[in-house]
Structure formats: structure tokens, C-alpha cells
Structure 1
């Protein structure tokens, strides 16, 4: 279809981008390791990537606040990301070139996530799609990416990480070149002046929201950067590692697919309490054992530690004033999913080199802290979340 529905366009774009992300997130650290990079420097490189996303989401993302600008921005960012994945082929062996490639790729990758989510939020508010059902296609693609690249690396070596990522970004770019029916148009309500990020950061409820999701999502830092290396050191092959990552996202898909049924009437507080308890259990187990059965349980908890927290965050953003939505989405991706994870990733690299798997106990402690932060919805209509929406 050359002019798909909002659900079709956004879900298909998610497929291409998150396929590439399913390659990048689990396996880039293995590619760095193959280039002779130490664990501390791997943590630094991955942290640089998250920090770059933070800067991009603070500087670039809020400037694209009109919904009709979201689609062109995604096209250009996807094209640039394709080029910068390819640049990694020329960067191997040089730390500084790898750092430059990391910065360039994440300058594009960073804004893609909040801008595509902003499009999904826009059409969700118009009752033209269900965010959970739309976003689950990205999770399915993540599974495909991590599974395929695990098999390819085991058979043909770590360069397949780059080739597989290139395919995903190219597919996303091709899907993004189509129009959408109906096209996004900024409404009078959304024409209100875009709030400055500094003003939002002076609002106590916003600060509490960002701190809470930073603790929950930031607890994944050691997992994103070192779980593949940790499990490989425990004797698991790359394809098994790929399957484990895929299993985690299977749980994520199930949560997104069933979100309307599972969470109808849930308060915002309930989402974050459940996610925080999941953080404590998941990373405590990760620090304690590498038995395959335990790893399966650990990965199934990804549906709790990531997906439930993400749905809560998206509901908080959707229930904000319309002209604040992109700015809040930018802050969510810049601080909890960018700056804080960058900091924790860098510290995780140092911690993993010093203490090995015990670094995951620090991740579990972040869940304990999260239990003490209470976030209220932004408006009265956010008192209960996950209202029923029409099926696509």
C-alpha cells in the first residue's frame, strides 16, 4: 500500500528501525570487543552513544514540535543513520574513529525514537490507533533482529552485526518514504507556544516523573552493555544469547499486545510500582546465577521492567497538555533513556571490570529507590489510564 493508514505507516516504520535496534543494542558491545576494546572502554563507548542521544533529544527533538514536520524528519534521520552504520566498517581498530561513528549514528538514532513515538501519540489521541498494538511491531522486529544477528554472527563473524543493522535501517527508510492517510496536521490547541525545556524542568511533577523513570529504565544499563559479554563468558554461544534477548522482547510484545485488557483502570502509580518490583527481582537474579532456566525467567521479566514502565511513561505524556507532548517525549528520551543510562553505562563498565556480575546488585538497588517516588497524572483525565480505544 502506497498510502497506508496511521497504524500501517507507523507500525511498519517501527519494524525497520527496531530490527536494526535489535542488532545494535545486544551486539554492538560484542563488535567492540572483537575490535580489541577493553570492558571499561566498551562502557565508555556505549555511554558516549547514550550521551549523544541525550544531547540530540535536548537540542534537536524539541525543535520538531509540529506534527507535520515529524515524517520528513524521520526520513532524513533514517537516511543519515544508514550512512553512519556504514561508517563503522572504516572505524574498526581505532578507538577514536569508533567513538566518532558512535556519536554520528546516535545523533540520528536518538531523535528517531521520540519522534516516531510522538507520531503514534498524535494518532492515538485522535483514536486512529492503539499505541500498544502499534508499538508491539517494533518489539517483534527487535526479536527478529536480535535472533537473526545472533545466528549470523555465530556462523559468519561479528561483521554481520553491521550488515544486519544496515538492512534494518534501509527497510525503515523505504517504509518512511510513503505518505500517510490522513496526514498529520497541527491543531489550534497544539499551536500553543512550545514550552521551553528549562521551564518544564522547573515543574516538580515533571522532575519526579523523570527521576522515577530514570531509576527504572536506567537500571537496564548493565544489561544493555554487558549481559551479552557476561553470558558469553558463562559459556553460552552468540545464537543462544540472541535467543535470550529475543525472549525478553517476546515478553515485551505480550505486554504491548494485551495492554488494554491487562491494565484497564490501572492508576499511573500501579504501573511504576510493579515495574520497580520487577527491577529488584530481575537484576538480583541476574547477579546471582547464569543457569539457563533462571535466564529464561530473567528475560521474561523484561515485560515488567521495560514494557510496563514504558506504557506508564507514555500514558503520563499522552495525558499532558497537547503542546507539551513532544517536549515531554524529548525529555523522557533525553534524560532517563539518554543521559542517565549514559552515566550508568559508563559506571557499569568500570563496575563490571572490578566486580563482574555483582554490578547488577547496584541495578537492583535502583528499583528499591524507585518505590519511594510517587508520580501523579498531569490532568484529571489521566486519573485512570488505558482507556478502551477502537481496534484497528
Structure 2
């Protein structure tokens, strides 16, 4: 299979992977609320989506880096994830849903880190094209966010498992053609321990705090807008606005990173994220402030993610790249996302606005962590 054909299939994989997130992440809170769960229970359940990223990606990455089986693990994750997702159709009680989410996300977490590694290795000396390939994921997210919002308005929250199952089938179909191009990893070489005291440590600390700040957005954004008087369909359109801004930023990111450097752009992005969450706390009833807040998603996720993926790819050699991507995912989206979502669940029923104020504080501290990155780590080698 030629590199261009493989990139098309990888783009399809990104589309379906993030389309599933477009169904699950914004609307799971609404779905669980319709099944009678409390805000604290919803926060705990949504935290599982993040928490399984703490352990699962690292286990899968150990297998990938030891065997070179990257595309095979994507296929196993998609197939087993689709099979275990069937448990979602049964309207079980709280602990049933805990087990259901834990099992299917364990397999689901085998996918993304390997997808990132294969994409960057396929691109070779053209890493600037990463944003174009990754934007297929943003496109999948935006399409399903809007479609799911209208579907829930038409048929109710119980439509969510059916949409998710169809997308799981699409994900499995998209990854099956990927060739088993195993890397020769040099298993006899002694691996140098990962040094957390330098740039990698500061970067990961900042990433954890930034994802902690995103907890209210990932877990309670649609519910927050619904309580402010917006419909699910309208909330979906606002989510879509953020993803459109994200797609545009993915296109611009290589040029911006090459010109201004990773450190300065991460600092600006995290500061803008802090401002974004304050707009959510105090300006949710204003269409103008809510729109500006969502446009800032271009920085909160788009620019931050593009820079972070490049940073990890450069800091780890070929024998540790799955480990590096999994470490980034597990600590930021896993530890940070789980803590942020769980904490918001505890606070939300008492004072929803306080969740966003605390989120802004976490983002501001994240920006201070970025300042600790040395200047030599500032500019990735992008052409």
C-alpha cells in the first residue's frame, strides 16, 4: 500500500474515532441524566472515560513498542471496543455502567496512540501535513456533534447508543485495510530511562493541569447550556463552532509553530484557555461571550494538541514513540481529565459557575508551568 493510500485510511480512522467522541463526550451527561443518575454519579462515570487512559494506553504501548504491532493493536481495539460497547444498550444501574465504561474504554484506548505514531511515521519528512490528516478527526467530531444534538431533540437521549454502535462499525471497517508495517525496533538495545526532571516533566505537568481545567467542558458543557436555557441542538451547534475553529487552527499550526516556537504558543494558548473558562462562568447567557469562548477552542485544543504531538514525537525515538504518546495521553487526558471531571461532578449541583472559575485557575497555573520549558525546546523542526 502506498503512503498516500495509507494516509487516506488513517484519515478515515481519525474521522470515526473522533466521531464516536462527538457522540459520547458532549452528550453522555444528558444520557446519564435521562437514566436518573445524579450530578455526582455522572461526574464519576464521565471520569472513567478519562481514568482508563491512565493505565490502558501504557499497557497497549508496551506491547506496541516491544512487538511493533501498531496497526494490529488498532484493529484489536476497534473490534473488541465495538463488541463490549453492546453492553451500553442495557439500562443497568450505576455499578453496571461503571463496569461497562471501564471494559469498553480499556480496549478503545489501544487505538489513538498507535494511530498518532503510524501517521507521523507514514508522513516521514513531511510532519507539517499532520494537521491535514488529523483534521479528518475534527470533521467527524463536528458532524456527529451537530447530528447527535438534533437526533436527541427528535428521539430523546436513548438514541445515543445506536449512533455510537454505527460509528464503532465504521471505525472497524476503516482500520482493517491498514497494513502490518512492523518497525524493526532493535530489541537487544538497552533503553535509556525517561527523564522527567527536564523538559518532558515540565511539559507533562502543564498538560495535566490544562486537562484538569477542561473537566467541566468535557463532562458538563451541554448540561450547563441546557440549564442556561439552550436546547441540546443549540448546544451541539456551539460545540461545532469550537471544532470549526480547531480545524482552521490545525491548518495554520505548522506555520505558527515554525515561526513562533512551541513554548510561546503553548503559553499564549493556556492563558487564552483561562480567559475562556471565565467567559463560561460569567457570560454563558450572552451569545457573544459564549461564541468567543468556543472560538478559543482553536487554542485550548487545536494549537495545544498539534504542538504536543510534535513535542512527544521529537522527544522519543522510534522504539519509544508509542510509550511517549501513551504517556502524554494517560497523564494529561487520563489523570488530568479524570480529576477535573470528577471534581466538577462534586461541585456542579451546588455551584456550576464555580467549576469554571476553578478551571480558569488550573489553566493559569498550567501557563506558569510552560514558562519553565527551556528555550531549546521551543521550536520543533517543521519544514
* TM-score tier (shorter): over 0.9
- Cα pair distance change 1:266/1:163, threshold 3 Å: same
1:119 correspondence with 2:124:
no
Residue in structure 1 matched with residue 201 of structure 2 by the alignment: 207
After alignment, is 109-118 or 18-27 more displaced?
Answer: 109-118
Residue in structure 2 matched with residue 216 of structure 1 by the alignment: 210
Q: Which deviations, in whole Å up to 9, do the C-alpha atoms of 1:10-52 show, x marking residues without a partner?
A: 1111111111111011011111111100001100111122111
- Cα pair distance change 1:347/1:253, threshold 3 Å: same
1-side partners of 2:197 and 2:150: how far apart? 47
- Cα pair distance change 1:356/1:62, threshold 3 Å: same
Pairing partner for 1:186 from 183, 186, 189:
183
Residue in structure 2 matched with residue 367 of structure 1 by the alignment: 363
1-side partners of 2:186 and 2:316: how far apart? 9
Residue in structure 1 matched with residue 305 of structure 2 by the alignment: 310
Q: Which deviations, in whole Å up to 9, do the C-alpha atoms of 1:190-236 show, x marking residues without a partner?
A: 985556xxx42644332211101111232111111111111001111
Residue in structure 2 matched with residue 110 of structure 1 by the alignment: 109
Contact preservation (8 Å) 2:32, 2:42: yes
Give TM-score, length-normalised by structure 2: 0.92
After alignment, is 364-373 or 232-241 more displaced?
Answer: 364-373
1-side partners of 2:188 and 2:260: how far apart? 31
Residue in structure 1 matched with residue 134 of structure 2 by the alignment: 135
Written as runs of structure 1 = structure 2, the 5 A alignment for 1:1-392 is 5-65=5-65, 68-90=68-90, 92-127=91-126, 130-180=129-179, 184-187=181-184, 192-193=189-190, 199-200=193-194, 202-290=196-284, 291-322=286-317, 323-373=319-369, 374=371, 376=373, 384-385=379-380, 387-388=382-383
1-side partners of 2:373 and 2:124: how far apart? 20
2-side partners of 1:3 and 1:316: how far apart? 23
Contact preservation (8 Å) 1:67, 1:119: no
Q: Which deviations, in whole Å up to 9, do the C-alpha atoms of 1:70-118 show, x marking residues without a partner?
A: 111111111111122221111x241111111110121122232212112
2-side partners of 1:244 and 1:144: how far apart? 12
1-side partners of 2:186 and 2:124: how far apart? 13
2-side partners of 1:97 and 1:201: how far apart? 40
Paired positions, count: 380
* Residue 123 of structure 1, CA deviation: 2.0
* Residue 260 of structure 1, CA deviation: 2.5
Q: Unaligned stretches of 5+ in structure 1?
A: none
Secondary structure of 2:29's aligned partner: helix
2-side partners of 1:113 and 1:303: how far apart? 20
* Residue 266 of structure 1, CA deviation: 2.4
- Cα pair distance change 1:46/1:314, threshold 3 Å: same
* Residue 189 of structure 1, CA deviation: 7.0
User: How well do the aligned residues superpose, as a CA RMSD in angstroms?
Assistant: 2.3
Contact preservation (8 Å) 1:2, 1:179: no
Give TM-score, length-normalised by structure 1: 0.90
Contact preservation (8 Å) 2:120, 2:127: no
2-side partners of 1:193 and 1:123: how far apart? 26
Q: Unaligned stretches of 5+ in structure 2?
A: none
2-side partners of 1:318 and 1:176: how far apart? 22
* Residue 61 of structure 1, CA deviation: 2.5
